[in-house]
């Protein structure tokens, strides 16, 4: 049980010109960060599970040591070339030579989006530290990522080449560690894949990741042999929900009715907006911030933003509460299609105006 050591935070911030104060020049710097975190161990092995980018980098180092090759060379020879992923690379120079390459974009907290460089160092400049790319350092396209999905859906085979044994693929797609349930019930981690045990009657495997200036997400349903590859040159979209929406459409269902996440977002969207009391003497806004409704009030005397905590996690109820010093303050919406939406907070009755 080692919580995240933020090794990716160091790599990504340095890559866009920010200094974390943590040395990051090679293998020794990486293990100095990892081995210096002994006091961060939170549980014995097997007791708790944390996804950990530093652990994937250590696995990459294992591959490097066992194979005797730099990590990027081994991956290219044993995965990318057999899968005919000709544009896919871990080498910065190859990416920069591609005339049709994506331009990474950094979305800042204030909402502005600016072009930036790919933040990972060029692995050929320091082959011993090539395994830094084991977590987020592969640059690909959705067309070639589809080849990787095809191999996983075909029991480890792509064309006439058997890259991975069917038994290994089966183990990868077996839920080994339970995590908090998702909208569909049991959810957990296999080997390199997140496993939703019952997505509308089928097992679904998925995995995504972002380096903040680019993002990728893969998902597939083994039984149906359908998959979705997504890639973007920034971060912040709901890739998992997009994949699930595509799956439901391919399965002949209506995504808006079949996917709980879409229903929740629709119900949240209905409640967001500006609310006023009688004569407009008090005004508040209901906003969606990071997937949770918040109440915002700004005037000459007040400047507050507080979360509206739903009594029903699926937003099936219109009852919420504000938690202040451990005390709940009820908040309730009243939706009347013929009149509009009202908001009740203590003695105040607000009417939605926009």
pLDDT tens per residue across span 249-273: 999 999 999 999 999 999 999 999 9
pLDDT tens per residue across span 184-205: 999 999 999 999 999 999 999 9
pLDDT tens per residue across span 33-60: 889 988 888 888 888 888 888 999 999 9
What gap in Å lies between CA 339 and CA 143, rounded to an integer?
A: 50
21 has pLDDT over 70: no
Out of 1.20.120.790, 3.20.20.70, 2.40.128.210, 3.30.450.20, the CATH code matching 270-352 is: 2.40.128.210
Question: Quick one: pLDDT band at residue 2, thresholds 50, 70, 90?
Answer: very low
pLDDT tens per residue across span 289-302: 989 999 999 998 99
What gap in Å lies between CA 115 and CA 246, rounded to an integer?
A: 29
212 has pLDDT over 60: yes
To the nearest whole percent, how much of the chain has pLDDT over 90? 79
- The third-level CATH classification (topology) of the domain covering 142-258 is Beta-lactamase (3.40.710)
Domain with CATH 3.40.710.10 in the chain: 142-258
Question: Quick one: pLDDT band at residue 3, thresholds 50, 70, 90?
Answer: very low
Per-residue pLDDT, 23:
72
* pLDDT (mean) for 167-171: 98
Domain with CATH 2.40.128.210 in the chain: 270-352
Per-residue pLDDT, 8:
63
Per-residue pLDDT, 1:
42
Average pLDDT, the chain: 92
């Amino acid at each position: 049980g080692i919580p995240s050591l933020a090794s990716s935070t160091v790599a990504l911030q340095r890559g866009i010109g920010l200094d974390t104060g943590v040395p990051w020049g090679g293998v020794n710097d990486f293990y100095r960060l990892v081995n210096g975190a002994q006091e961060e161990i939170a549980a014995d092995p097997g007791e708790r599970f944390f996804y950990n980018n530093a652990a994937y980098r250590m696995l990459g180092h294992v591959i490097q040591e066992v194979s005797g090759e730099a990590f990027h060379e081994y991956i290219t020879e044993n995965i990318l070339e057999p899968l005919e992923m000709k544009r896919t690379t871990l080498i910065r120079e190859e990416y920069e030579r591609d005339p049709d390459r994506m331009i990474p974009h950094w979305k800042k907290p204030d909402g502005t989006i600016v072009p930036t460089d790919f933040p990972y160092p060029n692995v050929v400049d320091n082959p011993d530290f090539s395994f830094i790319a084991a977590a987020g350092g592969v640059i690909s396209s959705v067309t070639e990522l589809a080849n990787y999905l095809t191999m996983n859906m075909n029991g480890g085979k792509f064309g006439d080449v058997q890259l991975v044994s069917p038994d290994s693929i089966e183990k990868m797609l077996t839920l080994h560690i339970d995590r908090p349930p998702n909208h569909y019930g049991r959810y957990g981690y296999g080997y390199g894949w997140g496993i939703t045990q019952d997505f509308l009657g089928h097992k679904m495997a998925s995995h995504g990741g972002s380096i903040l200036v680019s993002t990728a997400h893969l998902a597939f349903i083994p039984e149906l042999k359908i998959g979705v590859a997504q890639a973007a040159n920034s971060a912040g979209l709901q890739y998992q929900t997009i994949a699930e929406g595509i799956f439901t459409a391919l399965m002949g269902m209506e995504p808006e009715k079949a996917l709980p996440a879409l229903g929740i977002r629709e119900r949240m969207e209905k409640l967001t907006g500006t609310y006023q009391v009688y004569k407009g003497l008090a005004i508040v806004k209901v906003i969606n911030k990071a997937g949770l409704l918040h109440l915002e009030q700004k005037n000459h005397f007040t400047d507050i933003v507080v979360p509206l905590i739903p009594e029903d996690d699926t937003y099936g109820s219109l009852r919420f509460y504000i938690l202040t010093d451990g005390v709940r303050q009820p908040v309730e919406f009243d939706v009347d299609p013929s009149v509009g939406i009202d908001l009740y907070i203590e003695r105040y009755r607000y009417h939605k105006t926009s």
